[in-house]
Structure 1
């Protein structure tokens, strides 16, 4: 996905067509129109920036054409690494503009089809409610989806689909819904679960994902919310609230770290991986919510980039929004005109299937629709961090010469292969950021035409290995599902766990415990342990087996789940914990994270041992302070002078961070109106939150923080200049230098933002998240605009007086 307010290539993951010329395919394979065009709105290229020379870097006659290709021809355009083959499993008229999907327990595909995004280059009729959730099924076992059932066809821009007991979860552009699935795939009740799931913001910057993670919570990209299905009489997890219930279950909502942009995936250990438009994939070394257990100290998990952001297309890519900028495309040589770096990273997948050779297990695959390719990266795990490297040096695992090939989401499939959602669309840029340059590129190759009835789903498989048979998990009893918790394919393990947990069938707890004891596969032991957690059936026998496992990652899960046991049972593991605490860095890290929840007598001695052995290692001190919530003074007293300076500094911050949610009440009425208007713009049309976050904390490697920022609370002219004309890094905030490779454009040349709008955004920023610096008026903005009228480039820190 593309970050809206970046001066780099603002390209979206996908588009669909409504209201422009509807097309169909004749018997001779040609496209024909079957609907009239709508009346176009006034053309406005809102992405244009004053002073930008948009002369095309590649002459039109040198750019290959981009005709609509039928599936056989489209597949011929694919360049694939040796050993792999690509197969089409669905195409029009069985699928249209797919953006997300989920397999049910029988292997049927539930596909969210975004059939109204950008109907034409001006976005006419974008919000007509005809988006679909379609069920695709292979009825004859040949591996091709031959049956399409439309379950819903009245959704505005559907973007999320997940399976749940009794039905599905899905979202439109604003709300999260439960839709009951009755016999014959008929719609039962349909109710709103969360009215604010995706409220506000640009289409490019709304939550998506609903990944059912190892800890039995549903997580989302572009969101700080997580959701959990519980029995109707189940106890709410600490810090959560009930937001919805139906006849099957109730839903808990809790806060989590804000992460990612489009798509979400995980590894076998429940760690989440996501992306930003120019960052193909990044991963969190700890499971979600690990560092936010102390409510008096704000800490978030850092996400580490997996490899570089370079891409290696096999065709020219001039059709990107700011392809005219010199750093965007290769300027000369055999790769002239090809995209240099990621600009539209989309839904990645950590491959956890069993159809590829073993060396591909755990590899990160990321689609780049702007460059018509899929990239593969090997994840390298270090001490408290991730890194990565290209699986194929200066090559991609799959790349196409078809400019309309737009892979937007990837999934490990029930058959063990990797499934690819291809929107098959020409234009992938939203109207709010479209440049004159891209409009001309699109019109020159007719990329804005023939998109409304296209879409493909492919399967990438290893040629020499068989595909698994279609699963039939929905009719199996819970006892019959237990062996699938140990399946070689991660999809089967995840699905079996979800089905057992959401059935709340505790009768299989002993069988699952036996699986923890008997299996030698760490993935199986971990999955079984978390299935017990979902059933609220963690027991001493399973914990003992987990702590006795030779696999560090199993020990880590067992330590976490040990806290679910009654106090008298926890105490029996005290000596084992003391031994493990100094046996391995990762184990010690988990002990530190859980210390506050452990009901044992010598937890302070346990933490002392961890700090003595690993106190200088990454994340250890942060984990101690997160885990010891409420007993900080006791820890300080116990450690005395042996506490490190870093630990003491963190402990001193507990309860003393200068975080004021809002200075709203100290503004006069007119300024309060301005503040509220600025908030709506920040989270909405101006999409500031897309980079800086809804809490103003910034995004590592993406944008600097605004919360408690001396740059924000300093001279008003500095903030106004940045809002009007943008910023390029690095820049120091409160003495700390922040690097961010991307460039934030200003609003000065965007006619849809008035001086009052810019002043409102500044007022909101200067009076939120610990900032308390008063309002900025439209007159002040107007004055700075006049003074900087000749400015046509973003500011640097030096120019702002760093």
Structure 2
């Protein structure tokens, strides 16, 4: 009996022995730019359908897995708790993950995560949760936002969760940002950005994209242009940075609208992006010259990753594709689905490969792609998932440093690292540890203008520690580069008080003499805040900026954004100074004033649904299905969808509106005098089994009430008859076809 017990104990010990067997996966089907190498860091069975990752202080990879997404062509089962968040470990220290440790399981479609504040922030729709971590186990779970990702299509729910240089967490597909201060979570409105994935550069500008626009971004730091809640910026944020949307696939990949004219070329190759996502500003410090702060973009529909070269001039961003005729990384493996990218603590770039045959959600899956996917058996590519690493072949091998073992002084030194991931994490660790004895060391970094990056990180570390003061910021702004001084001006707004006004005025006058556009943009954004305390002192500076930048609409937006509290007397003052009433500046002020009179704020500040229809089912459905593209206020979102306000399809032609909602609409479109090109396509809901005839009738009733002067409705029976009224192609309607129907009605 004793021998049996010992034998059983031996078996238990053997079964617990670490196993470092790692699967070998061929990458022969992948073509990567010369000078780089590609390797598999983690793969199935360690993970399945990864969609997002983050690294912890030890360099381990935390992954959000979404195996419930498109398990079949009908998309059934996505409501089941099959998702998880897993810790991937490299126990034998060979650079390849060999163990998976469950952290959270039984989750429904987890879509984003971020290791912040010593814990984990993660999304399980509709909630945003934060848990503390003890010995790799979750504890003390806190509900940060119960309305983070309301029920709706998972392709159009908030995601990203990225900590920026300014100590705020930003998201894609969301108009809110988050921060925890002294244990209390804060939520603030911000510009709504992108669709899937978000990234930032060294300065702190944000970049994002949507399916049909591979790279968008802001020219200015977050929230500088949205502080006046009645002004909607059109020039400084949500800008298309690369006009060229061409893609260069290696093979005839399966895409959702391949039947459309112009989507595929004569060789059946996709011409333009249709599923762009997961952008990344590379900040690792190891790639060759010319690669620093390039923006890489996932193009999963053609199994590729694109490279864009960025340049910065006069405070603005410009970008262009690195090459014509090829991509940075491309494959003929239709399972390769890059959906997110990340800078790593080792300076390399990491690719989240969902590795799934079908990534188009069933609600938008066209019969065309459904048929092709079945023929190619793409729906059978399941239960896979990979993390890939891209390295500079000529760079020295680097090892990940365990930041959790470093002293605070070591972390201060890392604020000047060439690796942006290291700088970001060192900043957050210093704030989290709250060792105020380090304040003198941080101030020394601020005074050293030879390393602007460490200056910026030191500034926001002090801001996070509540250890900044006006005198320190004054000196930084006066003696630093334009980028560092811009951050200093932003942070000085925390010290707007009577005793600082004369010093600020002298500083602003001195900055104007530097004649640097990149700095004047931020001066323009802040001077109105100071003018609230003394209009006579600061209005002349605004006048000088307007005359200096008569054609710069971003500067105009910056001025109006900061001047909400003084906008009426400012308008009077500018009139007295001879500012032309027909100038761009005067026009912007007039539009802002009209919005204020009509109590029509920027939709990011709306706390209720438009008008009185907020309690109807149609309003709820509109928010879930349509608002992510057209905005809750119906004003549209730049680069994504046209406005509903003022559209004749909303105000006049209900049957045509019903056809659009059922079968979709493709460009070119003429809406309110503006032409939207062929890249703008709205998919129909006819194949969405969760949307009934009554649902569509309810939405029509809502949008005609909310966005036109003619509240009307269609019966569910009318919607049912429209289901069989097809376009010539059998797919989306064109504007010409809808007009023919209108003419026939008359």
Cα distance per residue 1:616-674 (max 9 Å; x no partner):
2131222111111111233233331422332222222334214557998987xxxx59x
Summarize the alignment of residues 69-108 of structure 1 with structure 2, pairs less than 5 Å apart. 71-73=24-26, 75-108=27-60
Does residue 257 in structure 1 map to residue 191 in structure 2? yes
Tell whether the 8 Å contact from 1:516 to 1:525 is kept in structure 2 after alignment.
yes
C-alpha root-mean-square deviation of aligned residues, in Å?
2.9
| Correspondence 1:712 to 2:663 | no
TM-score (norm: length of structure 1): 0.82
Structure 1 equivalent of residue 386 of structure 2 = 456
Alignment of 1:562-581 (within 5 A): 562-565=492-495, 567=497, 568-569=499-500, 571-581=502-512
Give 1:19-168 correspondences, 5 Å limit.
71-73=24-26, 75-168=27-120
Q: In structure 2, how many angstroms separate the alpha carbons of the residues matched to 1:275 and 1:595?
A: 31
Give CA deviations for 1:54-99 in whole Å, capped at 9, x if unaligned: xxxxxxxxxxxxxxxx7432x1111111110112211122222211
Q: Does 1:533 align with 2:463?
A: yes
Alignment counterpart, residue 149 of structure 2, candidates 186, 198, 206? 198
Distance 1:796 1:291 in 2: 35
Is 1:474 the counterpart of 2:404? The answer is yes
Match of 2:520 in 1: 588
Write the deviation string for residues 143-199 of structure 1: whole angstroms up to 9, x where unpaired: 2222321111111111111012242011113211112211x2122222322111111
* CA separation of 1:466 and 1:701: change in aligned 2, threshold 3 A: same
Q: Post-superposition shift, 1:795?
A: 3.5
Conservation of the 8 A alpha-carbon contact between 2:89 and 2:97: yes
Unpaired runs of 5+ in structure 2? 1-20, 601-605
1:647 aligned partner: 585
- Structure 1: distance between partners of 2:705 and 2:503: 51
Cα 1:636/1:680, change in 2 over 3 Å: closer
Give the equivalent residue in structure 1 for 2:629.
Answer: 691
Corresponding residue of 1:6: none
Which secondary structure state, in structure 1, belongs to the residue aligned with residue 363 of structure 2?
A: helix
Higher mean alpha-carbon deviation, 322-331 vs 772-781, is at: 772-781
Unpaired runs of 5+ residues, structure 1, are 1-28, 30-69, 232-248
Task: Select which of 739, 748, 756 maps to 2:694.
Answer: 756
Question: What residue in structure 2 maps to residue 778 of structure 1?
Answer: 715
1:43-442 equivalence runs, <5 A: 71-73=24-26, 75-182=27-134, 184-231=135-182, 249-299=183-233, 301-317=237-253, 319-331=254-266, 336-382=267-313, 385-442=316-373
Structure 1 CA distance for aligned equivalents of residues 82 and 209 of structure 2: 29
Cα gap change, 1:650/1:711 in structure 2, threshold over 3 Å: closer, same or farther?
A: farther
Aligned pair in 2 of structure 1 residues 478, 763: CA closer, same or farther (>3 Å)? Answer: farther
Residue 17 of structure 2 is matched in structure 1 by none
Assess, with a 3 A threshold, how the Cα gap between structure 1 residues 438 and 653 changes in structure 2: closer, same or farther: closer
CA 1:467–1:565 in 2, change beyond 3 Å: closer, same or farther?
A: farther
Structure 2 CA distance for aligned equivalents of residues 254 and 303 of structure 1? 22
SS at match of 2:152: coil
Q: Contact 2:362/2:688 (CA < 8 Å) preserved in 1? A: no
Give 3-state SS (helix, strand or coil) of 1:602's partner.
helix
Cα deviation for residue 711 of structure 1 reads 5.2
Question: Equivalents in 2 of 1:128, 1:753: separation in Å?
Answer: 20
1:389-441 CA distance string (max 9 Å, x none):
22133211111121111111101111001011111222222222333433333
Relative to 1, partners in 2 of residues 1:296 and 1:445: Cα closer, same or farther, differing over 3 Å? Answer: closer
Give the equivalent residue in structure 2 for 1:656.
594
Offset from partner CA, 1:704-750 (integer Å, 9 cap, x none): 11246565334545544543454334444444444562222444676
C-alpha deviations, 1:235-266, integer Å up to 9, x for none? xxxxxxxxxxxxxx110011111111111001
Q: Which residue of 1 aligns with 2:735?
A: 796
* 1:268 CA displacement: 0.9
Bigger helix fraction: 2
Distance 1:466 1:676 in 2: 61
Q: Are 1:597 and 2:529 counterparts?
A: yes
Q: Scaled by the length of structure 2, what TM-score is found? A: 0.88
Q: Separation in 2 of the partners of 1:388 and 1:469? A: 32
Cα distance, 1:230–1:403 mapped onto 2, change above 3 Å: same
For 1:613 and 1:745, the matched residues in 2 are separated by 46
Once the two structures are TM-superposed, the CA of residue 566 in structure 1 deviates from its matched residue by 5.5
- 1:281 partner SS: strand
SS of the residue aligned with 2:565? coil
Q: Number of aligned residue pairs: give it.
A: 702
SS state at 2:440 partner: helix
